[in-house]
Amino acid sequence: MDLNKDIQYVKGIGPKRAQKLNKLNIFTLKDLLYYFPRQFEDRNNIKKIAQLENEDRATIKAIIVGSHTSSPRKGLNITKLDVRDETGYAKLVFFNQEYIKNAFKVGDTILVFGKVKKEFKNVELTSCEVEHLSNSPKSTCKIIPVYPLTYGVTNKEVSSIIKGVLNDKEINIKEYLPINILEKYKLCSIDYAVRNIHNPSSKEALKIALYRIVFEEFLMLQLGLFMFKNGVSEVDGIKFLENKKLEEIRSSLPFKLTKAQERALNEIIDDMNSNSAMNRLVQGDVGSGKTVVALLALSHCILNGYQGALMAPTEILAEQHYISLTETLKPFGVNVELLVGSLTKKNKEKVLERVKNKEIDILIGTHALIEDKVEFNNLGLVITDEQHRFGVRQRSKLSEKGENPDILVMTATPIPRTLALILYGDLDISIIDELPPGRQPIETIAVDKGKRDRAYNSLVRKEVEKGRQVYIVCPLVEESEAIEAKAATELVDELKSEYFSDLRVGLLHGKMKGSEKDSIMKSFKNKEIDILVSTTVIEVGVNVPNATLMIIENAERFGLAQLHQLRGRVGRGSHKSYCILIYASKSEVCRQRMSIMEETNDGFKISEKDLEIRGPGEFFGTRQHGLPELKVANIFKHMKILKLAQQEARIIFSKDSKLDNYENKGLKREIMNKFENIVKEISLN
Ligand code: ADP
Ligand code: MG
């Protein structure tokens, strides 16, 4: 059957329903079949009445033992069914659904899906879907797709229209992915995928179906981008060679790499040893150990006789990298140097001179690295840490200081710019999805501002008495370091006079000189400060394992990803660590966001949830670029599939850049359709 057929002519739809579907931007049969659910509700598990919890949405199997109707006021009619199973009694409540009492009689066995209200032993189910017990239940005991909807169209309508259409024997969606790809990635056919997304025969089947669609969405997006942006921008790069000494450096580390670190490192070394220039993104949650991967990549570079550069967003972080790299690499005769804005002119000139003469192997710094004066002798590898702090241009400015050096960017936060890089920048991705062993998860507690006193008086004190240290993060002030600094100073005064006159309180903010910050951080590291009050300058990378408590004031002002970054400053040693989020908002969104922070320590999940709350439109914004939207695929949730699809896109593109080979014909047609807007634009020019 022709999938481009207008839906009003599809059997069982007709003009009236078609009009409704048009509201959802569904015009053709294909639009309808590809109108995928936003989520799924699992109604499979039948629960016993005694097991039901308040607020559950659950399915029960029960016998009707009583039936009443009442009409408390005009226009309101309430039907109640008393039911029981072998564990207890429940009431089903229906508003203005008089047909219920005729359709379901005392003595009938029924299946009910509904929302549970439980007070003491009284169980009530509302918003019920009821049906007689049968072998093929329609609305209970199944996985039910939940569609994105608009006013005047219900989920049931959409679902039953699509199911009706899929029942038509003539409909068979023709496969368009090459067969070898289906086999290679064990993908199901498109027909199976579409059927099971709308009407899952089991959880397993749904999973298989979704996998196929996610893969294909990424594959087509990436292939389309390659085709319309003139291909993979592969440039010739340095071909590094294996060097035995790298293993020596590696075994001098005080720990063994995690599997994930090892994998990322191998991917990096493979890139470095290839003919083309590396362009790779390393994503790893806070504390996953990205620095040591950077260190080994830099080592590989200098063992090959090239210089390396590492750029960090703040001086504190740059200094910290400098210290840890020096510590590890000095015994191997590697010269590491630091270049930050706060150096004296004379010292800076000295450093620059030595970089140019190749007396320095690794230069670490802030964006001072990209100033014009900085000249390298033979820059082979450029690494930027916490890359979301830098613009794309800053990054390329650094790499222009060499001749096609390899490029590595590291980030803990998958954020919009990262997304843009994936879409436009043709980056490869390595994922460090494992924390070093022995880490204790940080316990996060969100409290209302009213409990601030208690947090200070009991928690802070307790940790300090145990010999631990505490961070207190000041409220975020819009875009002004000066005001933020003032707020931080005031907070310190308040803390000193009202709470901690007997403790050592330190202050750190962005307006301080580099040397001041440095000395405060050093004192904190050396345990000469108990409580460090800080603005968000503390956000990235700082490492003080003895700090076990972080209090964040006005937590509602921060992005979730940022809160996660901040809290990553604790939980770095073997002691149990805590993060207290103090919030001063009563909004529902605030409550939701705080509870996400309490529930998970997984940075990827947090970004994803943040995205969910803020809504993807604003975030992804692909439509305005004429790019096809991703309906099921999610760049955070499905990072691993994205990687596979990207890899495959590259293989396909390198063999058949116009997709003219016979086996790629179907794929090409689909991509051209998806990229319709871009195709139009090109043909206009
Ligand atoms: P991030 O990925 O957030 O930049 P870091 O590189 O700062 O994380 O690492 C956090 C801490 O974990 C550091 O103290 C580092 O020495 C330690 N670390 C890194 N890798 C390992 C490992 N494989 N085993 C044990 N500790 C490790
Ligand atoms: Mg780091």
Stretch among 122-136, 434-448, 670-684 having the lowest mean pLDDT: 670-684
DSSP symbol at 258 = P
The mean of the pLDDT values for the chain is: 87
Of residues 506 and 561, the one with the higher pLDDT is 506
Summarize pLDDT for 634-665 with one digit per residue, the tens: 876 787 898 899 889 989 998 998 899 999 99
Q: Which residues contact 519 (CB under 8 A, 6 or more apart)?
A: none
Give CA angle at 21 (15, 26), nearest 5°. Answer: 110
Distance from residue 287's CA to the centre of ligand 2 (Å): 7
- Higher pLDDT among residues 516 and 609, named by residue: 516
The arithmetic mean of pLDDT across residues 118-133, rounded, is 91
Q: How far does the centroid of ligand 1 lie from the alpha carbon of residue 412, in Å?
A: 13
Whether the pLDDT of residue 428 is over 60: the answer is yes
Summarised one tens digit per residue, pLDDT across range 341-360 is 878 899 999 999 999 999 99
* Alpha-carbon span 111 to 492, nearest angstrom: 62
Q: Which residue out of 262, 543, 564, 574 has the highest number of ligand 1 atoms within 8 Å of its CB and is therefore the one to mutate?
A: 543
- Average pLDDT rounded to a whole number, residues 589-598: 91
Mean pLDDT of 433-448: 89
pLDDT at 234: 63
Note whether 45-141 and 443-600 share their fold: no
Per-residue pLDDT for 378 more than 90?
yes
- The pair phi, psi for residue 629, each rounded to 5°, is -85, 155
Work out the average pLDDT over 184-211: 95
Give the pLDDT confidence of 137-157 residue by residue, as tens digits: 777 888 889 998 887 888 888
Whether 291 lines ligand 1, by a CB cut-off of 6 Å, is yes
Provide the pLDDT for residue 423.
53
Q: What is the pLDDT of residue 150?
A: 80
Q: Give 107: exposed, middle or buried? Use CB within 10 Å, 0-12, 13-18, 19+.
A: exposed
How far, in Å, is the centroid of ligand 2 from the Cα of 542?
Answer: 8
Domain residue ranges in the chain: 1-44+159-172, 45-141, 245-273+289-411, 443-600
pLDDT score at 49: 95
Give 313's DSSP letter.
S
Q: How confident is the model at residue 426 (pLDDT cuts 50, 70, 90)?
A: low
For residue 433, pLDDT over 80 is answered with yes
Measured distance CA(563)–CA(585) in Å, rounded:
16
- Taking only the tens place, the pLDDT of each residue in 4-53 is 889 998 888 889 889 989 988 899 999 999 999 988 988 888 999 999 99
pLDDT at 674: 84
Point out which residues pair with 309 in neighbouring strands: 363, 382
Burial class (CB within 10 angstroms; exposed 0-12, middle 13-18, buried 19+) of 299: buried
CATH 3.40.50.300 fits 245-273+289-411, yes or no: yes
Question: Residue 474: pLDDT above 70?
Answer: yes
DSSP β-bridge partners for residue 92 = 81, 125
Give the residue carrying structure tokens 């047909």. 99
Largest alpha-carbon pair distance within the chain? Answer: 94
Burial class (CB in 10 A: 0-12, 13-18, 19+), 659: buried
Q: pTM of the predicted model, to two decimals?
A: 0.60
Quote the pLDDT of residue 624.
Answer: 39
Report the pLDDT value the prediction gives residue 245, as an integer from 0 to 100: 95
- Rounded mean pLDDT of 175-190? 97
Distance CA 511, CA 172 (A): 66
Rounded distance, CA 528 to CA 108, Å?
75
Fold of 45-141: OB fold (Dihydrolipoamide Acetyltransferase, E2P) (2.40.50)
**CB-CB neighbours of 326 under 10 Å:** 16
pLDDT on residue 479: 58
- The Å distance, Cα 290 to ligand 1 centre, comes to 7
Average pLDDT over residues 79-107: 94
Residue 114: how many CA atoms within 13 Å on its side-chain side? 25
Tokens linked to 384 = 């930027």
- Which three-class secondary structure state does DSSP give residue 615? coil
What CATH topology corresponds to 443-600?
Rossmann fold (3.40.50)
Strand pairing class (279-284; 406-411)? parallel
C-alpha separations of 568 from 377, 388, 412 in Å: 37, 17, 10
DSSP for 427-465, please give it: -EEEEE--PPTTPPPPEEEEEEGGGHHHIIIIIIHHHHH
d(CA 233, CA 404) in angstroms, rounded, equals: 12
What is the pLDDT, as a whole number, of residue 419?
Answer: 56
Determine which of 189-198, 267-276, 395-404 has the lowest per-residue pLDDT on average.
395-404
- Judge whether residue 225 has pLDDT over 90: no
pLDDT of residue 66: 95
**122: helix, strand or coil:** strand
DSSP code, position 495? I
Termini Cα distance of the chain: 35
9 lines ligand 1 (CB under 6 A): no
Task: Please work out whether the CB of residue 255 comes within 6 Å of at least one atom of ligand 1.
Answer: yes
SS3 659: coil
Pocket test for ligand 1, best of 253, 255, 604 (most atoms within 8 A of CB): 255
pLDDT at 598: 95
Res. 625: pLDDT tops 80: no
Q: Which residue has 């490029």 as its token pair? A: 407
Residue 412's nearest CA partner among 569, 276, 190 is: 569
Q: Find residue 6's DSSP bridge partners.
A: 28
